[in-house]
Structure 1
Amino acid sequence: MTMPKLTAVICFANEGEEVENTARGIRETCGDAVDILLINDASTDGLDYESVADRYGCRYLLNEEQIGPAHARHKGASWAKTENIIFLDSHMRFYADGWHRIINDIIDNDPNALYCTRSRPLQRGGLYEGGVVGHGASLVFKAEDFNKSLQPKWNTNSLAVSGTSYIPCILGGNYASRRAYFLGIGGYRGLHRYGGEEALVSIKSWLSGGSCQLIEDVEIGHIYRDAKGAPWSGNIKYYHFNKLTTAAILFDPPDFDHYKAQLKALPEAPHAFKVYESRRHFVTRARRMFQPIRRHPTDYILDLNDAFLRGEKISPV
């Protein structure tokens, strides 16, 4: 059998039957042309996920202790054997046969980019009830408080009929790239456990001379989380930590100080700062490793983002 060109890296914790639904959907639409890597991040719900992997011909990795999606996905990219990767959440639906070929062809045409597909919002059980389809995202860099700063903001306007369109930020739980490119820009290095992955890698992609693009010809359904939130513990402090880490890795000291001051105003700040101090050396290392591949100052992504919000077409310089 020919080796697949694309690996679907699926990290999950306590997702129940949705892991099987997602794996089945990939097999029904792509056959064996996608290598599926299931990463069980220390689930405690008692479901036999390894048997799901066996039924659908997936490779399976079990984390004995929970490490969170950022670490797990980065580990998955390193463990993938294929040229291309797509990070998928574990509660997805697929609607067109052979969508993997479109993704592979687009990556081949421009391997120095991160991609997301159009995202169809689904209700529990995978039902689509007419919600607005997401077309990638812009970024909110500085808002009135830390909760709203460094945050992706859905773009719900169609950008083109076919092909790809440049966007400031990927969003939607389906992120494809050349594996070597993702690892080459440092991937999720510096982040810890949960939250903020999209902003970090999107800004890194633009600042390193690449781009972020929306794949117009593929739409993937995503069951977005309800009020229960994500199944990882300590979400708030880690999400705050990851946003502060993004600023530390990518921005100049005055901007970092701005975000740090914003964080101090929140009641969760002591917990987030405690995590930051315990992992400061990892953050410093991630910043140091990004500098040699950086091609643009911070204003570059700020200007691109502003132009996108004005409705202008953006592209790499």
Structure 2
Amino acid sequence: MRKIRANAIAILTVAWILGTFYYLWQDNRAHAASSGGRGAQRAGGRPEQPREDRTIPLIVTGTPSRGFDEKAYLAAKQLKAGEDPYRQHAFNQLESDKLSPDRAIRDTRHYSCPSVSYSADLPATSVIITFHNEARSTLLRTVKSVLNRTPASLIQEIILVDDFSSDPEDCLLLTRIPKVKCLRNDRREGLIRSRVRGADVATAAVLTFLDSHCEVNTEWLQPMLQRVKEDHTRVVSPIIDVISLDNFAYLAASADLRGGFDWSLHFKWEQIPLEQKIARTDPTKPIRTPVIAGGIFVIDKSWFNHLGKYDAQMDIWGGENFELSFRVWMCGGSLEIVPCSRVGHVFRKRHPYNFPEGNALTYIRNTKRTAEVWMDEYKQYYYEARPSAIGKAFGSVATRIEQRKKMNCKSFRWYLDNVYPELTVPVKEVLPGIIKQGVNCLESQGQDSAGNFLLGMGICRGSAKNPPAPQVSCLLPQGQDQEGERSQSHCPGVGWGASLCSFLFSLCLHRPQTYFPRDPACSPLTWLLGSASAIPIPFTHLSYSCPLCTTHFSLPRKKCYPHSTQFSPGMQLWSACTMGSRAARTAVCTYVCHIQVLVCPCQTAPLVPQPVSLPIPPAEHPLVHP
């Protein structure tokens, strides 16, 4: 009897094992057939017929019994020996692949943040992550950081929107992780339309948008959900920490920054205005921001839909953050940065993917649509700052303008007065231009904590085909001579800081003004203003040009003088930017920018130059064109 019972148990065991293997074999064969069918259709040269919504249906979360093979997922896309680790993704993939998807990162919040309490009934959110050919290691680390550092009750789902990556399994395999879903475009749509697709299928009442190369920090989500729960018209963003693109070190960002921009609609981080900083006695309180960077934010889904989602006629990437920011503020909402929320992000120096119409043209199209819909009469300053946008196609904006009218949104003048009064409106005395040294240009970088204006060097934007946008403004002379031409009584000064590490810039004002370099190693200097102010500069090629004319000036290359040498008033360097032809009586005026030089030693010990007062030249001083 015992022998019969043992045989029966053995037979049942073998049958169970064979049945399990058969089930897994059938499941794998069906999956392979599905993938092979799509590949065969492409290989046969017959184009796929686009579905009405042009997306593959949402893939539900994989069952835990199937499991997710993390090692196999990552190993399939490891770099080959000798391959450039920066080539494909514009960051060091080799270093990223070395890191654990569950790596620990430093809590970079203010020490007061852990003591802040949040509501017990915070709403759950749908996390939407769009990507195109993202490195598997960074994509997986983004997903796992969300799951590891967020209470499970607050994550309704993680929706990965695969914007037609080369390998569909980059996304599909991740659906074996609980709560992860995949939505794949069957053609390249870009970040903007992909985010709309993700939002449309999201089931939570709150949407959280993330980039695909992020790592969220401790208690990152609760502070933002709390703000949205209290007021559904708030759109909130975390402080965005920096993940090094070279070694993937996690670095804390300043808690005193907000989003800003210039008239060319170029985003920049800037210091909180001094009066706001003084008023902020609690470092955990939110920071009002004129614009958000756009990659990471939380928004109520009903509010997102009410506002009109994203402008779906924008292409790929760029400018959508301005359009959304203007729309939120002008149509009854607000934008905040929540200091107790921290998310790390890999900031790259270039785009690792191609834009169908080119990077510059795509950005122009998107920002031009923003200017035409939201900037009212102030759009003229956008075109002055970005002349390459003039005449470029941008599609119809009639629907967006009509939507703005229906929502009874406020004017851009209101936005400037109430949200971003620090953005200086150009006046006739200001001529936008470019001050360039090599590949770098002088650019405005906001204010420091003491309210001092900051200027520094940055990579010049633009190309030969699409000229760079003005990054500073040259204030024109005040007053006119008897013939109606502008006099040369006041002009800008440009120079390097004491350590030759950053430009200093003085506008042509009637009072002294100090501009501090970004690098704390440089000593701040106050320049005496006026046409005779002496300006220290290094002896490398420096030029000024204005996009409205062709003249410019330059300094001699590879020439060095002793520190005691200085140019006399007769050796002044002038540049004239003339609008129109006076002989043809079409001249508006003659714009004059003027620099005088006090030389610094070449690549020697740091020097603290002192302003030298020189005689003011007469107004009729002849222009000298270098």
TM-score range, shorter chain: 0.7 to 0.9
1:256 Cα offset (Å) = 3.8
1:194 to 2:314 alignment = no
Change (3 A) 1:250 1:82: same
**Contact kept in structure 2, 1:119 and 1:133, CA below 8 Å:** no
1:315 is matched with none
2:411 to 282, 293, 297: 297
Residues of 1 paired with 2:185 and 2:163: CA distance?
A: 5
Residues of 2 paired with 1:170 and 1:121: CA distance?
A: 16
1:13 is matched with 132
For each residue in 1:163-214, what CA deviation from the matched residue of structure 2 results, as whole angstroms up to 9, or x when unmatched?
3121111126211111111221112124222111111111111100211111
Residues of 2 paired with 1:262 and 1:241: CA distance?
A: 15
1:145 is matched with none
1:153 to 2:253 alignment = no
2:300 is matched with 178
* TM-score, with structure 1 as normaliser: 0.82
**Contact kept in structure 2, 1:170 and 1:212, CA below 8 Å:** yes
**Contact kept in structure 2, 1:16 and 1:45, CA below 8 Å:** no
1:27 is matched with 147
Q: How many equivalent pairs are there?
A: 292
Change (3 A) 1:220 1:129: closer
Q: Which runs of 5+ in 2 are unaligned?
A: 1-120, 424-445, 451-626
1:78 Cα offset (Å) = 1.8
1:153 Cα offset (Å) = 1.8
Residues of 2 paired with 1:255 and 1:239: CA distance?
A: 19
1:94 Cα offset (Å) = 1.7
SS across alignment from 2:221: helix
5 Å-filtered alignment, 1:42-57, equals 42-44=164-166, 48-57=170-179
2:459 is matched with none
1:65 is matched with 187
1:54 Cα offset (Å) = 2.2
1:146 is matched with none
SS across alignment from 2:232: coil
5 Å-filtered alignment, 1:86-97, equals 86-96=208-218
SS across alignment from 2:420: helix
Change (3 A) 1:46 1:198: same
SS across alignment from 2:229: helix
Change (3 A) 1:195 1:114: same
Residues of 1 paired with 2:252 and 2:306: CA distance?
A: 39
Residues of 2 paired with 1:207 and 1:4: CA distance?
A: 26
Q: CA RMSD in A?
A: 2.8
2:287 is matched with 165
2:421 is matched with 306
Residues of 2 paired with 1:172 and 1:221: CA distance?
A: 14
**Contact kept in structure 2, 1:120 and 1:220, CA below 8 Å:** yes
**Contact kept in structure 2, 1:84 and 1:179, CA below 8 Å:** yes
1:222 Cα offset (Å) = 0.5
SS across alignment from 2:305: helix
SS across alignment from 1:138: strand
Larger RCO: Structure 1 or Structure 2 (Cα < 8 Å, ≥ 6 residues apart)? 1
Residues of 2 paired with 1:62 and 1:168: CA distance?
A: 33
1:298 is matched by which residue type in structure 2?
Answer: F
**Contact kept in structure 1, 2:217 and 2:342, CA below 8 Å:** yes
SS across alignment from 2:200: helix
Q: Which runs of 5+ in 1 are unaligned?
A: 143-148, 313-317
Seq. identity, %: 21
Query: 233-242 or 50-59, which moves further after superposition?
Result: 50-59
Change (3 A) 1:225 1:134: farther
Residues of 1 paired with 2:230 and 2:123: CA distance?
A: 18
1:206 to 2:329 alignment = yes
SS across alignment from 2:297: strand
For each residue in 1:62-85, what CA deviation from the matched residue of structure 2 results, as whole angstroms up to 9, or x when unmatched?
011011011111222222111111
Residues of 1 paired with 2:233 and 2:252: CA distance?
A: 34
**Contact kept in structure 2, 1:169 and 1:203, CA below 8 Å:** yes
2:364 is matched with 240
1:285 to 2:399 alignment = yes
1:100 is matched by which residue type in structure 2?
Answer: L
Residues of 2 paired with 1:255 and 1:86: CA distance?
A: 32
Residues of 1 paired with 2:346 and 2:369: CA distance?
A: 28
5 Å-filtered alignment, 1:74-153, equals 74-96=196-218, 98-124=219-245, 126-129=248-251, 132=254, 135-140=257-262, 142=263, 149-153=264-268
SS across alignment from 1:155: strand
SS across alignment from 1:11: strand
Residues of 2 paired with 1:119 and 1:61: CA distance?
A: 26
For each residue in 1:87-116, what CA deviation from the matched residue of structure 2 results, as whole angstroms up to 9, or x when unmatched?
1000111220x4322222210111112111
**Contact kept in structure 1, 2:232 and 2:300, CA below 8 Å:** yes
1:92 is matched by which residue type in structure 2?
Answer: C
**Contact kept in structure 2, 1:206 and 1:212, CA below 8 Å:** yes
For each residue in 1:7-41, what CA deviation from the matched residue of structure 2 results, as whole angstroms up to 9, or x when unmatched?
11111011112111100100101153312110000
1:66 is matched by which residue type in structure 2?
Answer: R
2:388 is matched with 265
**Contact kept in structure 2, 1:173 and 1:222, CA below 8 Å:** no
* TM-score, with structure 2 as normaliser: 0.43
1:262 Cα offset (Å) = 5.4
Change (3 A) 1:156 1:123: farther
Residues of 1 paired with 2:255 and 2:215: CA distance?
A: 14
Pick the structure with greater CA Rg: 2
2:182 is matched by which residue type in structure 1?
Answer: Y
Query: 62-71 or 167-176, which moves further after superposition?
Result: 167-176
1:294 is matched by which residue type in structure 2?
Answer: N
Change (3 A) 1:134 1:231: farther
